[in-house]
Amino acid sequence: MRVGVLFSGGKDSCLALHKSMSFHDVVCLITLLSENNESYMFHVPNIEITEKQAEAIGLPLVQKRTSGEKETELKDLKEAIRTAKASFGLEGVVTGAVRSVYQSTRVQKICRQLDLWCFNPLWLKDEIELLNEIVDYRYEVVIGGVFAFPLTKEFLGKKLDGEMIQKLKRLKDEYGLNPAGEGGEIETTVLDAPFFRRKVEIMDYDISYREYSGVFKIREVRLIEK
């Protein structure tokens, strides 16, 4: 089946893409560039580097800008998927939704309206199992945003590894934090994964942080051979 993957450049959409590649012909990535930092639907920090990530992976990217207003972003998403369907002959769409019934419901409805299959291969996956899978596959992932207590500035830009998983697990036990950031507490950016043909290298960045909310903003990247 020819499928397109909703792609934010974060760990969940990359893992969903990875799983899809084993069973289907992934023909494009689809990204919504939201201007709304509070978007319920779309990952925001470092979304601009999806273009470079798609290039590193070797897949075409369908991008659409959205103001990120609640209903407008759904119309824009539908439009982006419609464009991808027309351009690449999509038969299905894959998402990295894990727990969000809100996101999942809306994408399922859009796919039904456009007569497309909809797959959510990470659906209800245990958060620690998900993080371990990413580390086991040797993804290179950095934390691009933190948006919840008790996440400090020190998390920003840090790599996701076994030690970080243990740290997040402790925060889950002590504060009830979702270790995979499914409620938007943590956002991530993937720099390398087994299906990347080239690796993304960060050339320039800056960090902003205030009261348990901060962003590791990637300003410039380049692709390097693996």
Partner 1 sequence: MMIVINVCSDSLGYLEFVKPVEDILKKAKVRFVTRCFANLQKKDIDMADKFIICGTALKDFAYLDNLDKFRWIVKVSTPILGICAGMQIIGKLFGGILLEEERIGTYSVNTVQRTFLSKKDTFYSFFLSSKALEPNNEFETLGESADLKCIIKHKHRRLYGCLFHPEVLNPEMITDFSLLNNAW
Residue ranges that bind partner 1, judged by CB under 8 A: 1, 19-20, 22-24, 94, 101, 105, 108-109, 111-112, 116-126
Q: How far is CA 32 from the centre of its chain?
A: 11
Closer of 54 and 97 to partner 1 (Cβ): 97
Nearest distance from C-beta of residue 102 to partner 1, angstroms = 9
Nearest distance from C-beta of residue 42 to partner 1, angstroms = 19
Nearest distance from C-beta of residue 120 to partner 1, angstroms = 5
Other beta carbons within 10 angstroms of residue 30's beta carbon come to: 26
Closer of 125 and 199 to partner 1 (Cβ): 125
Q: Are 78 and 114 in contact (CB under 8 A)?
A: yes
Helix (H, G, I), strand (E, B) or coil at 126: coil
Closer of 34 and 103 to partner 1 (Cβ): 103
CA dihedral over 183, 187, 188, 189, signed as positive or negative: positive
Q: Which residue has the tokens 């993804």?
A: 139
Nearest distance from C-beta of residue 131 to partner 1, angstroms = 15
Other beta carbons within 10 angstroms of residue 208's beta carbon come to: 12
Q: How far is CA 22 from the centre of its chain?
A: 19
Closer of 115 and 225 to partner 1 (Cβ): 115
